[in-house]
């Protein structure tokens, strides 16, 4: 019967730890990203096409991809990197603008969450039926 040496035990522990890290760094799925976004934003319905754009941009950067994978699995006590990425995700959803290679890109104009937060339609969009402009505005309470 072969005995387990100290070196073999340590080697096995290293392999187990490595495999756990690899699982943690698996690419985040669209469903996981939407669930994370819903948690960060406190909203239940988000545009999946816009979410796909944001997720693709985040996964294109290796550092962001790793941080995102850990953020998805976090227990609500984020590291500084995870908190920064959370703020970025929230900013993208509210402005409709995201970045790829440091260059801003428009994901959505009328679907940006800031318009709803300001209780106004996105500029350049039709917010009421045809001819509504001819009627006096209704008081908003």
Q: What is the 3-state secondary structure (H, E, C) of 37-54?
A: HHHHHCCCCCCHHHHHHH
Domain ranges for the chain, please list them: 26-119
CA 116 – CA 110 distance, rounded (Å): 10
The string of pLDDT tens digits covering residues 66-89 is 999 999 998 778 999 999 999 999
pLDDT at 19 (0 to 100): 44
Instruction: Provide the pLDDT for residue 127.
Output: 73
97 strand-pairing partners: 106
Q: What is the reported pLDDT for 10?
A: 63
The answer to whether 28 and 72 have CB atoms below 8 angstroms apart is yes
Question: pLDDT under 70 in the chain at which residues?
Answer: 1-3, 8-25, 139-141
Determine the pLDDT at residue 38: 96
């Amino acid at each position: 019967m072969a005995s387990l040496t100290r070196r073999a035990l340590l080697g096995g522990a290293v392999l187990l730890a490595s495999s756990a890290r690899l699982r943690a760094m698996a690419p985040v799925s669209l469903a996981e990203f939407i669930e994370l976004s819903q948690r960060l934003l406190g909203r239940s319905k988000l545009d999946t096409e816009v979410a796909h754009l944001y997720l693709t941009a985040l996964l294109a950067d290796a550092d962001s991809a790793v941080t995102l994978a850990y953020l998805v699995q976090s227990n609500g006590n984020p590291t500084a990197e995870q908190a920064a990425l959370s703020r970025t995700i929230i900013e993208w959803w509210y402005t409709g603008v995201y970045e790829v290679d440091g260059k801003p890109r428009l994901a959505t104009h009328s679907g940006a969450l800031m318009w709803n937060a300001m209780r106004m339609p996105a500029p350049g969009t039709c917010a009421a039926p045809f001819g509504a402009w001819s009627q006096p505005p209704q008081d908003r309470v």
